[in-house]
Structure 1
Amino acid sequence: MTDSLTFLTTEQRNARTIHMDEMTTVEMLTVMNDEDHKAAEAVKNVLPAITKAVDHIAEALKNGGRLFYVGAGTSGRLGVLDASECPPTFMVDPSLVQAVMAGGGRAFTEAKENSEDNENQGREDLKARGFSKKDVVVGITASGRTPYPIGALTYAGEVGAFTISLSCNDKSEISGKADCPIEVIVGPEVLTGSTRLKSATAHKMVLNMLSTAVMVKLGKVYENLMVDVHANNYKLRERAKSILMEAAGTSYEEAEEALQKAQHQVKPAIVMLKRKVSFEEAKRLLDTCDGQLRDAVNAKT
């Protein structure tokens, strides 16, 4: 590993913002907005790699595996954000999608940037989670050369697990450790080297794609509705009723009654309404169809 970062695209100076400290507020914001548009285009360019990642993750999770996001600093925090939203959005166990961050949980709110330089710690932290070849790991690093996620990916490869890297530099070091490298080339940042900007935006887009598309493939979505939403508070119960009304074409009162009978579980409630069956029969149909709501609704028996 070279000690110099100057060759990295993410460390280059952006010619459009050389005089940023002399810009008016609106000039500054306009150029930032223009540059942010490049993040979406960069993600579009790597859709084939993201597709490969989604298919492998979904297959692993169907077979008892778990998904791990590993990163440091902003990259690690993005992993924490995406992983923490999976249980309430898709009603999965918190262990299914996990974030492993350099410096531990406190590093989410308190910067511990020196912790990213310990490659062996990335390996040990993944090992401590009982990581196995059934699991999948995504190593996140804008520079592509951060030791902590590289250590995690190296270990994952040694145990035979599928490995994915997410970086913002071409031919980055971590890409060489991954079965599926995703390099989202967004170009130099508005603020030189501040990869919490375009790089982080692009990476959040990719992580959102990975988790959402995987959950769709696991049957957590019907049409474009969150049918496995965890309806454990007023807002989510009201959202669940709206989902029932949309999916089953029913009234608010019928949706409320079905949701109560289904113990606030949206998927069996939809089956109950669409097939005119009991809660027990709805659960049986879902079990028979591997939790796939569309199959349960259309099942012949």
Structure 2
Amino acid sequence: MFADRSNIDTEKPNAASAQLDAMPIAEAVRLMNQQDSLAVQAVGRCAEPIAAAVQLVAAAFNCGGRLLYVGAGTSGRLGVLDAAECPPTFSSDPSMVVGIIAGGPEALQQSIEGAEDDPAAGAQAIKDNRITAHDVVCGIAAGGTTAYVHGALVQARASGAKTIFILCTDPASLGDKLPATDVLIYLATGPEVITGSTRLKAGTATKLTLNTISTLAMVQIGKVFGNAMVDVDSGKNAKLKDRAVRIIGELTGRSRDAAITLWQQAGGNAKRAVVMHFQQCSASQADELLRQTRGRLRPLIAISGQE
């Protein structure tokens, strides 16, 4: 038998959209925009637990650990999306941030709804990914009840990993079924415009939260200088090559042509190029200096006296 989920916030009807099918399109657009703004507010109210999550993830990265997102449906796809976007943005190893979705890769393009009801499958996914005490596992479940995610979080804790749980319903509604975690992030987005459709506000708030966690964790380990994407993987396409050259020019004050020359001398690595400029050193020497600062650029610019 299946449970009555009427107490779950994301399953409750939204009075504001009760006449959605009869609304003029422009009015419906304004309604959805107004409701979407609530997602941003919900994330803002969770600044402290999100900051705690960032600290956990950055600490894991600093000791060679990983961040693994686990979810089903929209929640799982958002985790996979965030993980996929980290390597080109930060030149991070693809194994550093991993997205696990119930039902496997096929569920990314075609919904496999029944996969979320299997806690044993979630636990097995954790075992298959060889989770250790160095890792952080972030479970994502808008309605809070996804058995696959619960199973993964229980197994992750048993493996010694730190755990985060992101949900968009009042944790109290789960009672003793709420999984124990190190950080709990409750995004109070409220009922959806279409009842139960958590790809809407809940999905938006979740995406914003994952953006914040992965981005600021990468910032903490030196993947960003100021707001410059100094670890951008510039070998992938013309857009990223241009971005790397502009970063070098902005940070060093060199002309575009001179920045391109330095970028080439640095093997297409923007961070290495900036160190070469400020420390007046070779590419290999720049790599050794960055090894000593664990990839952080600011100490090397400060040492040069030109910060």
TM-score normalised by the chain length of structure 2: 0.95
Alpha-carbon RMSD across the aligned residues, in angstroms, is 1.5
Decide whether the 8 Å contact of 2:153 with 2:179 is kept in 1: no
Cα distance in 2, alignment partners of residues 244 and 33 from structure 1: 39
Instruction: Work out whether 1:285 is the aligned partner of 2:289.
Output: yes
Cα distance in 1, alignment partners of residues 151 and 300 from structure 2: 43
Q: What is the CA-CA distance between 1:177 and the residue it aligns to?
A: 2.2
* 2:165 aligned residue: 165
Q: What is the CA-CA distance between 1:2 and the residue it aligns to?
A: 7.7
Q: What is the CA-CA distance between 1:299 and the residue it aligns to?
A: 3.1
Cα distance in 1, alignment partners of residues 2 and 96 from structure 2: 36
Instruction: Work out whether 1:229 is the aligned partner of 2:200.
Output: no
* 1:106 aligned residue: 106
Question: What pairs up with 1:125-140 in 2 under 5 angstroms?
Answer: 125-140=125-140
Deviations 1:16-65 (A, max 9, x none): 11011110000100100000000011011111000101001100110111
Question: What pairs up with 1:173-192 in 2 under 5 angstroms?
Answer: 173=174, 175-192=178-195
Unaligned runs of 5+ in 2: none
Cα distance in 1, alignment partners of residues 132 and 288 from structure 2: 32
* 2:56 aligned residue: 56
Percent identical: 43
Cα distance in 2, alignment partners of residues 299 and 57 from structure 1: 28
* 1:247 aligned residue: 251
Counterpart residue type for residue 222 of structure 1:
F
Counterpart residue type for residue 194 of structure 2:
L
* 2:221 aligned residue: 218
Q: How many residues align?
A: 301
Counterpart residue type for residue 158 of structure 1:
A
Unaligned runs of 5+ in 1: none
Counterpart residue type for residue 165 of structure 1:
F
When residues 297 and 175 of structure 1 are mapped into structure 2, their CA distance, relative to the original with a 3 A threshold, is farther
* 1:194 aligned residue: 197
What's the secondary structure of 1:188's corresponding residue?
coil
Decide whether the 8 Å contact of 2:150 with 2:179 is kept in 1: no
Q: Which runs of 4+ in 1 moved over 6 A?
A: none
* 1:208 aligned residue: 211
What's the secondary structure of 1:79's corresponding residue?
helix
Deviations 1:145-193 (A, max 9, x none): 1001110000011122110000001115475321101000101000111
Decide whether the 8 Å contact of 1:100 with 1:126 is kept in 2: no
Decide whether the 8 Å contact of 1:82 with 1:208 is kept in 2: yes
* 1:81 aligned residue: 81
* 2:15 aligned residue: 15
Q: What is the CA-CA distance between 1:272 and the residue it aligns to?
A: 1.2
Cα distance in 1, alignment partners of residues 107 and 190 from structure 2: 27
Decide whether the 8 Å contact of 1:165 with 1:175 is kept in 2: no
Cα distance in 2, alignment partners of residues 299 and 56 from structure 1: 29
What's the secondary structure of 1:40's corresponding residue?
helix
